[in-house]
Amino acid sequence: MLNFSFANPTKIHFGEQQIALIKSEIPTDAKVLVTYGGGSIKKNGIYEQVSNALSEHTWFEFAGIEPNPSYQTCMKAVALVKEKQIDYILAVGGGSVIDGSKFIAAAANYEGEPWDILAKGGEIKSAISLGVVLTLPATGSESNTFSVVSNLDSHDKLPFASPFVQPQFAVLDPAVTYSLPKRQVANGIVDAFVHTMEQYLTYDVDAKLQDRFAEGILMTLLEEGPKAFSEPDNYKVRANIMWSATMALNGLIGAGVPQDWSTHMLGHEMTAVYGLDHAQTLAIVLPRMMAEQKETKRGKILQYAQRVLGLDISDEDAAIEQAIAATEAFFHSVNMPTRLSDYNLGEEVADKIVKQLERHGMTALGEREQVTLEKSRAVLLASV
């Protein structure tokens, strides 16, 4: 096992009607900014629950944080934070609202040009306190330090991380996910699955517990994912998916193990250039990345084949092919396309994305830094 430091300071309130608890989580004398997206929370009752919980607080709101949150939109919220002297941000939404709010929280206190946080790794020394009401289980952003923000002018989609933007608390009520459109249900399941794979499908470091945690998440998503479509009103299914997505990227399964993230880096560029949803890009890239990396990942793909998928691995090469095919079939089982051609895209994608990767210094990706630009190009060409 590799050395690691681990802390997850986000307090989770999980279950039905837990939104009411934000009342006691946010100091009563705080000036609160409630941030949200395009308005889904006004149709499904979440906005009302949040307003009721904040009835004794002074609060303002900022709407319109879009999917793949933009720097441009976030900076409008930063102006409001400064104008109203906000000292607590409550993000109510999916990964985009949470990520945007993390950036807002850091940018409001940042001395200098906030874009540098993303483009130049500018040091974050403090941030406004952040709490979350999660409405879409997918990213794990509700209890981690990461955020990804896009610049609409330059076609950049860049990540940053800081302990200062980790939410202090997050409310996870599985019932709020009933209103998700099917496309977003699929996005969430696939994103959580790929987060787990990026931290699991590398090479063995004898981290037995982390492996079994990861396998538990993968098996839960394999079992419950399709049920979110066949039994959309089943609370137990929604609850298991929601908790799996949080646990997939809250630091636990990634502690002390090598991590890959090559699929995500290609995916971010594809979203920046073509506007595909985050998880749509992952479902296209992962099966081909597994195939491209099948020799360096050999041991772990076989472990995944046997322990997660229950395959016979006596013929190792055949088992690896079957494991890759089963992964792609799982994505299809949750109504997620897996080919560039499903979005009317073709070979032209390879050149465009490789140029973006080069511009962002993504020339040696993966746990062994073996995914060169040529390999990324091969993955994309194989994904048509």
280 binds ligand NZQ (CB under 6 A): no
Pair 35, 61: CB distance under 8 Å: yes
| Residues from 241 through 270 that contact ligand NZQ (CB under 6 A) | 249, 264
How far is residue 55 from each of residues 20, 111, 162, 171, 272, measured CA to CA in Å?
10, 34, 31, 17, 39
191 binds Zn ion (CB under 5 A): yes
| Residues from 59 through 78 that contact ligand NZQ (CB under 6 A) | 67-68
Residue of 33, 176, 185, 228 interacting with ligand NZQ (CB under 6 A): 176
Q: What is d(CA 219, CA 205) in angstroms, rounded to the nearest whole number? A: 21
Region of 93 (left: φ > 0; alpha: ψ -120 to 50; beta: rest) is: left
The binder of 201, among Zn ion, ligand NZQ, none, by C-beta within 5 to 8 A per type, is none
Long-range contacts of 222-229 (CB under 8 A, 24+ apart): 222/308, 222/309, 222/330, 225/189, 225/193, 225/330, 225/333, 225/334, 226/333, 226/334, 228/185, 228/189, 228/334, 229/182, 229/185, 229/334, 229/335
Stretch that binds ligand NZQ, among 17-25, 138-146, 166-174, 326-334 (CB under 6 A): 138-146
The binder of 322, among Zn ion, ligand NZQ, none, by C-beta within 5 to 8 A per type, is none
Tell me how far, at minimum, the Cβ of 139 lies from Zn ion, in Å. 6
CA torsion sign for 87, 93, 96, 98 is: positive
Q: What is d(CA 321, CA 300) in angstroms, rounded to the nearest whole number? A: 13
105 binds ligand NZQ (CB under 6 A): no
Q: Residue type at 75?
A: M
Number of residues that bind ligand NZQ (CB under 6 A): 34
The binder of 257, among ligand NZQ, Zn ion, none, by C-beta within 5 to 8 A per type, is none
Residue of 39, 121, 163, 299 interacting with ligand NZQ (CB under 6 A): 39
Our CB check for ligand NZQ shows the closer of 191 and 211 to be 191
Tell me how far, at minimum, the Cβ of 142 lies from ligand NZQ, in Å. 9
Residues that bind ligand NZQ (CB under 6 A): 37-41, 44, 67-68, 93-97, 99, 135-136, 138-141, 144, 146-148, 176-177, 179-180, 184, 187, 191, 249, 264, 278
